[in-house]
Every structure is written in structure tokens, then in C-alpha cells.
Amino acid sequence: MSEKKRDAIKKKCEKLAEFLTETNDILGDSFGVDQMFCFVSRMDGLWIRLGDRVKRLQALRKNGKNSMSSEEEQVVAEIAGLCILLLCEDDNIHAGAEEEQDDYDDFDDADEPPAPAQ
């Protein structure tokens, strides 16, 4: 891959990171359990939002143009952001599962009789 392409990718990723963090700062945790109308898990909420954005992009792309409109670019950025949030949430789930397992391991150790003295 050329250095020019690498730089372009890095620049897009940095711009997306700014967009995503600014959006989350403004909107807050819209998938948290403390939200009034939260009836699904965070992961399910993200999948639902991603599906909505993909449908929106499909509707916008019916114009047949090769280049994207500013609205299409916005939706693509939202899709990329949601994908990143999905990856982060998956990491949180795995980290939580490891912590739970550690808690169970500690509990199991407490139930074992002490090793006999030699």
C-alpha cells in the first residue's frame, strides 16, 4: 500500500474518532440501562441502529451517482461509528465475562478445604 493511501486512512480514522467522541459527548450514553425507554441490551440497540443506518444509506443511494452526497457521507460516518461502538461494547462484554469468571474462581477457591499440612 502506498504511503499516500496509508495517510488517507489514518486521517479518516482520526476524523471519525473526533466525530464519534464529540457525538457521544453531546448525546450521552443513548444505550445505557438508565435510559427511560431502554428495553434491549446495549449490543442489540447498536445492531438496531446500525440496521436503520444501512437502510437509510440504501434509500439515499438510489440516486445512482458515483460520488456520495453530504447526507450519504454523514450516514456512512454514522455506520462506521456504530461499528466501532459495537467493537468496543464487545470488548466490554468479554472483559465483564472475564471479571465474572474471576469472581466465580474466587468463590470456588473459598469452598475448597485447605490443603493438608505436610
pLDDT in tens, 83-115: 998 898 888 888 887 776 665 555 555 555 555
pLDDT at 98: 72
pLDDT at 66: 80
Question: Would residue 118 count as lying in a domain?
Answer: no
Question: Would residue 35 count as lying in a domain?
Answer: yes
The answer to whether residues 77 and 21 touch, using CB atoms and an 8 Å cutoff, is no
Torsion sign, CA atoms 39, 43, 48, 53: positive
Q: Which DSSP letter does residue 116 get?
A: P
The answer to whether residues 85 and 20 touch, using CB atoms and an 8 Å cutoff, is yes
When the pLDDT of each residue in the chain is averaged and rounded to a whole number, the result is 80
The answer to whether residues 31 and 38 touch, using CB atoms and an 8 Å cutoff, is yes
Question: Would residue 116 count as lying in a domain?
Answer: no
The predicted model scores a pTM of: 0.68
Question: Would residue 40 count as lying in a domain?
Answer: yes
- Domain containing residue 95: 3-111
| 16-39 tens-digit pLDDT | 999 888 887 887 765 555 555 567
Nearest to 23 by CA among 74, 61, 72, 88: 74
For range 34-53, the mean pLDDT: 78
User: How many domains does the chain divide into?
Assistant: 1
Question: Would residue 23 count as lying in a domain?
Answer: yes
Question: Would residue 96 count as lying in a domain?
Answer: yes
pLDDT classification of 62: cutoffs 50, 70, 90: confident
Question: Would residue 76 count as lying in a domain?
Answer: yes
Question: Would residue 102 count as lying in a domain?
Answer: yes
Percent of the residues in the chain that have a pLDDT greater than 90, as a whole number:
33
